[in-house]
């Protein structure tokens, strides 16, 4: 059985209260307040389904009571019908602007009062149903969005892992570089020069895109990728092409998903993460701010991880050894600002290195 609705009557005139009680008592539970102050006090303990509110009252008039109701998060949705002998349009407009849903003029027609109360309660029921439906739909959309994001992340890791299978000694490289690049970006975020670029949304996109930086390695021959010794000049030229291969492969996805997809940033990283601050890098020989911030961030993250990792052609360096090499590259290989950010975040780098060690 449905709960009986509760209506609060707020009026300082006994006759008006008696008329309203006579009209509504058979259909609703009633709460009576004989002035605005009493109404506010009662509303602290009780929440009616609808309020009939007289405007002209001593001490605290109906407008003030209405304003107080609408400022209360627990009460702001309760429909309020104003009662008044004043019929001018300005008074009605003021009431509606403060949040009233209806305006009944005195003297009352009992049939009209009952009809208006019933109508507004029906409207409120409909609003609640719609609100619940919207909440349910929002939760469903949130669930599907989270599922899609997890699926995208899984797809990224699968693609990145495909490249890493060509170089089995870099098992956790994807996770480490992903976390390094975020640490650096967060450190730079507070600097005036980077605040507008390194937004939280951009950093999240950077984090998602970073694992694909070496996707182009799938196009490099095993004899070069896995060679234990120093590459010949010809072999190194072929190795450098992995940046181009990566950009080309990601461009295929961009054509399907559009320029706004995370793949656009992933392509930028894949192509530029071997560029150097002084212009001596590859594939295009970009220098300084010609290199996108994404590529400059990945350059340090990738080199640091390569240094502290065991590879077929070298043993792993300690953190301090890797740190000194990066410091030596400040202003030549690496963006000075990013090297400075690395020094400030080196404790975090060490934690990431230790947590995601190669097995």
For 170-190, how does the pLDDT look when each residue is reduced to its tens digit (9 = 90+)?
558 888 999 999 999 999 999
Report d(CA 332, CA 326) in Å as an integer: 10
Percent of the chain with pLDDT over 90: 62
pLDDT digits (tens, 9 = 90+) for 69-81: 999 999 999 999 9
Phi, psi of 54 (to 5 degrees): -70, 145
Q: Which residues contact 171 (CB under 8 A, 6 or more apart)?
A: 164, 358, 359
Q: In the structure, how many helices (H) and strands (E) does the chain have?
A: 16, 5
Which residue bears the tokens 């994001």? 149
Cα–Cα nearest to 180, from 334, 321, 352, 322: 352
Pairing of strands 6-10, 102-105: unpaired
Running DSSP on this structure, what letter comes out for residue 232? P
Most confident of 163-172, 239-248, 329-338: 329-338
pLDDT higher than 70, residue 154: no
Domains and CATH numbers, the chain: 6-134 (3.40.50.2300), 165-355 (1.10.3210.10)
pLDDT higher than 80, residue 210: yes
Mark 54-93 as b/e (b = at least 16 C-beta within 10 Å): bbbbeebbbbbbbeebbeeeebeebbbbbbbeeeeeebbe
Mean pLDDT confidence for 145-163: 63
Is-above-0.75 flag for pTM?
Answer: no
Phi, psi of 81 (to 5 degrees): -105, 125
Q: Are 54 and 10 in contact (CB under 8 A)?
A: yes
Give the model's confidence band at 18: pLDDT under 50 very low, under 70 low, under 90 confident, else very high: very high
pLDDT digits (tens, 9 = 90+) for 39-88: 999 999 999 999 999 999 988 999 999 999 999 999 999 999 999 888 88
pLDDT digits (tens, 9 = 90+) for 115-138: 999 999 999 888 888 888 887 878
pLDDT digits (tens, 9 = 90+) for 299-353: 999 999 999 998 777 788 999 999 999 999 999 999 999 999 999 999 999 999 9
Cα–Cα nearest to 245, from 223, 275, 213, 222: 213
Report d(CA 176, CA 197) in Å as an integer: 23
Phi, psi of 88 (to 5 degrees): -70, 155
What is the three-class DSSP state of 83?
Answer: strand
Cα–Cα nearest to 53, from 86, 22, 93, 82: 82
Mean pLDDT confidence for 214-241: 88
């Amino acid at each position: 059985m449905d709960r009986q609705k509760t209506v609060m009557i707020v009026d300082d005139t006994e006759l008006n209260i008696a008329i309203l009680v006579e009209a509504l008592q058979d259909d609703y539970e009633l709460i009576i307040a004989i002035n605005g102050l009493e109404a506010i006090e009662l509303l602290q303990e009780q929440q009616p389904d609808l309020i009939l509110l007289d405007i002209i009252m001593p001490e605290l008039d109906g407008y003030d009571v209405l304003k107080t109701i609408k400022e209360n998060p627990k009460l702001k949705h309760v429909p309020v019908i104003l009662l008044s002998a004043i019929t001018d349009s300005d008074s009605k407009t003021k009431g509606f602007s403060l949040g009233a849903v209806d305006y009944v003029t005195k003297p009352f027609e009992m049939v009209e009062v009952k009809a208006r109360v019933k109508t507004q309660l029906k409207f409120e029921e409909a609003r609640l149903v719609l609100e619940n439906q919207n909440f349910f739909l929002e939760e469903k959309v949130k669930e599907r969005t989270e599922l899609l994001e997890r699926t995208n992340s899984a797809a990224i890791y699968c693609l990145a892992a495909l490249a890493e299978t060509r170089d089995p000694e870099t098992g956790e490289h994807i996770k480490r570089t992903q976390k390094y690049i975020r640490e650096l970006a967060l450190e730079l975020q507070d600097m005036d020069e980077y605040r507008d670029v390194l937004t939280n949304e951009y950093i999240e996109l950077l984090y998602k895109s970073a694992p694909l930086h070496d996707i182009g390695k799938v196009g490099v021959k095993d004899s070069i990728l896995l060679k234990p010794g120093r590459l010949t000049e010809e072999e190194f030229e072929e190795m450098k092409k992995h940046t181009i291969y990566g950009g080309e492969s990601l461009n295929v996805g961009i054509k399907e998903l559009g320029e706004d997809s995370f793949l656009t940033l992933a392509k930028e990283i894949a192509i530029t993460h071997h560029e150097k601050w002084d212009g001596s890098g590859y594939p295009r020989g970009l220098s300084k701010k010609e290199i996108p911030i994404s590529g400059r961030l990945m350059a340090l993250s990738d080199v640091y991880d390569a240094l502290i990792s065991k590879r077929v052609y070298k043993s792993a360096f300690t953190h301090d050894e890797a740190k000194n090499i990066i410091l030596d590259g400040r202003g030549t290989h690496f963006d000075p600002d990013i090297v400075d950010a690395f020094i400030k975040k080196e404790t975090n780098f060490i934690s990431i290195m230790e947590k995601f060690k190669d097995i």
